[in-house]
Structure 1
Amino acid sequence: MKKTVVLYPGLGVGHLTPMVQLANVFLQHGVDVTVALVEPPTKAPEFSAAVARAAASNPSITFHLLPPPPPAPAKSNPDNALTHPIAQMFEFLKAMNAPLRDFLRSLPSVHALVLDMFCADAFDVAAELKLPVYTFYASGALDLAVFLKLPSIRANMTSSFAELGDSILSLPGAPPFKASDLPSECSNDSEGAKAILRVFERMPEANGILINTFESLETRAVCALRDGLCIPNRATPPVYCIGPLVSGGGENEHECLRWLDMQPDNSVVFLSFGSMGTFPKKQLEEIAIGLEKSGERFLWVVRSPRSADHKFGEPLPEPDLDALLPDGFLERTKDRGLVLKSWAPQVDVLRHRATGAFLTHCGWNSTLEGITAGLPLLCWPLYAEQRLNKVFIVEEMKLGLEMRGYNEEVVTAEEVETKVRRVMESEGELALRERVAALKDTAVDALKEGGSSYAAFVEFLKDLENIAHS
């Protein structure tokens, strides 16, 4: 009988996308897969569209939308209600344990449950049903090494990480970095920060951790994890580097790809800041002025600015480019630039022969997509673990350049102009281009039969078999 695993990606498109790539790896190894989906508490058309695309593109994967959780009991003390959006998210995911448990019980057989990194409360479901349970960490090994260490460090501090400011932290598996490079979401003492630290406290309960990276990309961090340096006083679960899990692309009809077909090789800088990345009008104007002055070809995805009252998960309106960008900018740059509203087929753009560099928010999905396309990265982190990814890209691997000013009120037009020109024209960045080109080949080899990530997945399946028979 074929094995069946259930993947549980939690909330958000950024967590669903790599989980679908993981599902395809299971299929390649002859394991049936069901993805148990959580409908966001606020209806999100973007999520529904992503699920529809994933289901249409992956007919061999079963997608099951879990029913909403039972209503929460009324609190006797409403003043104690959770107000932080991250804490509310974790409370919602905890409430989803009941529908998840019912669904798992309804299946003829389940051989393992694979959880998104934020679904730690579902360890309780796996324990109750006596299922092997694994965490899929969709970001990199360096981030994981840092975050697994944070709860024990915080327990011995009298102040929060935020109060350390730009003090340098030296943690196992990571190059030295500023305390301010930690995600703001977990560096203070808010409800949300405490909830995130609890997730990483529970992660060692897993039978193993699957990481979306490849071993030669993050050797130092992987060694620190395997040597048990990141979790004091308890064993570190086995770590399996099974990436880079990157979408195969396949979009052929989008207008931007036809536009790229008309550009010279390696001549276009692509600017895109992820599904959550937005800027105020002032910053968009600075980017536009810098691009225009650089004289370089560009393809730029612009999203509407997020207003103060915009709720997480709600769609943004379509951007009004004429209102957001400097007067006449689109007309003056039409022969060498293209501005897209809200979305582009990113993997296809990055792999196009005309694309020469990637200005990115350093989300891990985008980082891997840039690396596997062999492109130098211009790093402009915005939120979550992206500042740590920037440290890794610029300091550890030397695969990109930092956009200075991202921590301040605005990244200036001069900085945009200088860095875009530097990465596209400078002979001094030839070594950078050689490094990313070599790493592209290494990434491809890792996934081939006999490669390090392929071997790690085979090892994971053997370990799962051993647990099932123990």
Structure 2
Amino acid sequence: MCLHSFKMSESIVLYPSPGMGHLVSMMELGKLILHHYPTFSIHVLTFNPPFHTGATAPYMSRIAAEYPAISFHELSLPPNQCATFMDWFLVLKPLVREALESFSRRTPVRAFIMDFFCTSVLEDAEELCIPAYFFFTSAAAFLVLFLYFPELHKQNPGTLKDLDRDLFIPGLPPMPLSVFPDSMQDRSQKLYQWCLHHASRLPRGRGIIINSFHDLEPLGMRALAFEECAPGVPMPLTYCVGPLIAAGDSRNPSESLSWLDTQPAGTVVFLCFGSMGRLSAAQLNEIAVALERSEHRFLWVVRSPPAEGEEMGKRPPEPDLEALLPEGFLKRTAGKGLVVKTWAPQVAVLNHMAVGGFVTHCGWNSLLESVCAGVPMAAWPLYAEQHVNAWLMVGEREMGVAVGAVERGEDGVVGAEAVARLVRELMDSSRSMRVRERVAKLKERAVAALAEGGTSVTSLAELVNAWLEGPPPPPPPPR
């Protein structure tokens, strides 16, 4: 596709949400832009929230060192003005505008790309004549649901959680209410109103950029193309540019990878629950019992369970494995299993030939990483949209990349037998063979999407062309 010429001084501004999952995928978007259009410069607006969101600082330092065209600009959260994370973005609104004005005085800003939780600064971009786009960090199918949420709100004057039927979202199969995010079920809650607010504002952007690819989500893509997500509301164009995943930092030696080197190909089940996923002590015990019973080789990342009354978002301490796991477990499983504390290089682990299956919390980045590695999954969703992701992953009409989902008991804990059954299904069943074949094909199609002429590269070219169609935005008037 022929692109308009542009000057070396033109820039893009990115405004991610501070969570690790949101930050990483937006940085991968920036890297993708620079790979194909290296004359852009990219400014990234960041802030340090008042609680732990993962190891974001080392990650940003590494990106800044490796990509001189990407610069980070930290916004300072005023103290004692943010009761909840929903308040952050409103408090930062004047600082974001000030940063946009500053960038615009130095160089034409061709696009302002913000996380879909950052819609509060939409008007500021419009007033500064900077084209505003939203970056959606989850599935295209979940974007369909999110855009349709205001319509669900109108149709159901009561509380969604009180319904006794499936939800019908245009273009998607009937959705069980059990997978619908808790934050979007009870209209009396502040978080519900917050989601409703953002969902109603997304169509006002110049476009929505999605971290997915067509072959992974044909149903979601078709639903977006038919523009049935927000009845009566004009929809912006959507640009599908994924899969955007981080390669990871392979410079440091890893106990996990060294151990995997000693294991036979395709025999290890990998269990990891995301940068924020923490299970109870009772649940960790059940997993340990299940892994020992299953007799499968395993690599398991364990984080400290949340303490009773613990302050939300507090950085967890390093886990005491001897105290948390059954007595003698580590010795009995030595050689056949490895338990690592807090972190493992997930992308490298998934791409290791020894790994044959992934028990995952169904975060969107983890799902994409597993698909790109060609590794089948078992779904263990924990919070937010992860239950929707799990439903999409397991459904053969949707993605078909996971064998099944966990079965929780009445106390919310997944029993050892249910965990063992899930592991056996992932590693040994006829269903796992079908899923393995499906994921292997999707791995090839993910590579093709990001190759020259692929669907995601073509979509990126259309996006950049949209930025360059008109004259550059004028600089803001002097104050």
Within the candidate set 144, 163, 175, 2:173 is matched to 175
Is 1:401 paired with 2:403?
Answer: yes
Distance 1:282 1:200, change over 3 A: same
Structure 1: 5+ residue stretches without partners: 73-81
Q: Deviations over 1:136-158 (max 9, x none)?
A: 00111000001110112112322
After TM superposition, the structure 1 = structure 2 runs for residues 322-337 of structure 1, keeping only pairs within 5 Å, are 322-337=322-337
Specify the SS of the correspondent of 1:276.
coil
Write the letter of the residue equivalent to 2:376: P
Q: 1:410 to 1:71 in 2, by over 3 A?
A: closer
Instruction: Letter of the 1:269 partner, please give it.
Output: V
Aligned to 1:34: 43
CA distance in 1, matches of 2:222, 2:459: 14
Q: List per-residue Cα deviations over 1:218-276 (Å, max 9, x = no partner).
A: 11111211211001111111001100001113415111101111111111110000011
**Aligned 8 A contact 2:403 2:435 in 1:** no
Aligned AA (1:48) = A
The offset of 1:307, in angstroms, is: 2.1
Kindly indicate whether residue 450 of structure 2 is the aligned counterpart of residue 447 of structure 1.
Answer: yes
Q: Which residue identity does 1:285 align to in structure 2?
A: N
Matched, 1:297 2:297: yes
Matched, 1:97 2:106: no
1:420 to 418, 423, 440: 423
Structure 2 counterpart of 1:51: 60
Cross-structure match for 2:414: 411
1:415–1:250 distance in 2 versus 1, CA, 3 Å: same
Query: What is the letter of the counterpart of residue 234 of structure 2?
Result: A
Q: 1:71 to 1:305 in 2, by over 3 A?
A: closer
8 Å Cα contact 1:182/1:385 also seen in 2? yes
CA, structure 1 residues 152+318, in 2 after alignment: closer, same or farther (shift >3 Å)?
A: same
- Of 5, 16, 21, the residue aligned with 2:12 is 5
Query: Which residues of structure 2 form unaligned runs of 5+?
Result: 1-6, 474-479
Going by fraction, where is helix more abundant, 1 or 2?
A: 1
Structure-2 change in CA distance of 1:302 and 1:468 (3 Å): farther
Which of residues 15, 23, 39 is equivalent to 1:16?
Answer: 23
What CA distance in whole angstroms lies between the structure 2 residues aligned with 1:414 and 1:58? Answer: 48
Deviations 1:26-63 (A, max 9, x none): 11122221111122134767333433344344444111
Distance in 1 of aligned mates of 2:268 and 2:312 = 32
Higher deviation after alignment, 50-59 or 115-124:
50-59
Alpha-carbon distance in 2 for matches of 1:292, 1:42:
35
Q: How does 1:255-274 map to 2 (within 5 A)?
A: 255-274=255-274
Instruction: Between the two structures, name the one with larger relative contact order (CA 8 Å, sep ≥ 6).
Output: 2
Residue by residue over 1:73-107, the C-alpha shift from the partner in whole angstroms, topping out at 9 and shown as x without a partner, is: xxxxxxxxx96xxxx32222111111111111112
223-232 or 54-63, which deviates more: 54-63
How far did 1:469 drift? Answer: 6.3
Matched, 1:364 2:364: yes
**One-letter amino acid of the counterpart of residue 461, structure 1:** V
After TM superposition, give the deviation of residue 325 of structure 1 in Å. 0.6
Q: CA deviation at 1:182?
A: 1.0
Superposition pairs of residues 94-173 of structure 1, within 5 angstroms: 94-107=90-103, 108-109=106-107, 110-164=109-163, 167-173=165-171
Shift in Å at residue 416 of structure 1? 1.5
> Identity over aligned residues, as a percent?
41
- Aligned ranges 1:426-465 → 2 under 5 Å: 426-465=429-468
Separation of aligned partners in 1, 2:300 and 2:155: 45
Equivalent position SS for 1:34: strand
Q: Please tell me whether the aligned partners of residues 374 and 443 of structure 2 are also in contact (alpha carbons under 8 angstroms).
A: yes
Give the SS at the match of 1:168.
Answer: coil
Code of the aligned partner of 1:402: G
Contact 1:213 1:243 in 2 (8 A): yes
Task: Report how far residue 454 of structure 1 moved.
Answer: 0.4
Contact 2:20 2:54 in 1 (8 A): no
Distance 1:205 1:467, change over 3 A: farther
Contact 2:170 2:228 in 1 (8 A): yes
The code of the aligned residue for 2:25 comes to: P
Show the counterpart of 2:476: none
Q: C-alpha separation between the residues in 2 aligned to 1:280 and 1:307?
A: 9
Structure 1 Cα separation of the partners of residues 60 and 128 of structure 2:
27
Greater displacement, 371-380 / 100-109: 100-109
Question: Distance between the aligned counterparts of 1:70 and 1:258, measured in 2?
Answer: 44
Tell me which moved more, 132-141 or 47-56: 47-56
What is the letter of the counterpart of residue 320 of structure 1? D
- Aligned residue identity for 1:210: I
Secondary structure at the aligned position of 1:217 is classed as: coil
Judging changes above 3 Å, is the alpha-carbon distance between structure 1 residues 467 and 217 closer, same or farther for their aligned structure 2 residues? farther
Matches within 5 A, 1:340-379: 340-379=340-379
More deviation, 40-49/98-107? 40-49
What's the offset of the Cα at 1:428? 4.6
Give distance in 1, aligned partners of 2:376 and 2:288: 21
TM-score, normalising length: structure 1: 0.93
With 262-271 and 152-161 compared, the bigger mean Cα shift is at 152-161
TM-superposed deviation, 1:452: 0.3
Question: Runs of 4+ in structure 1 displaced over 6 angstroms?
Answer: none
Q: Given that residues 225 and 236 in structure 1 are in contact (C-alpha distance below 8 angstroms), is that contact kept between their aligned partners in structure 2?
A: no
Q: Pairwise CA RMSD of aligned residues?
A: 1.8
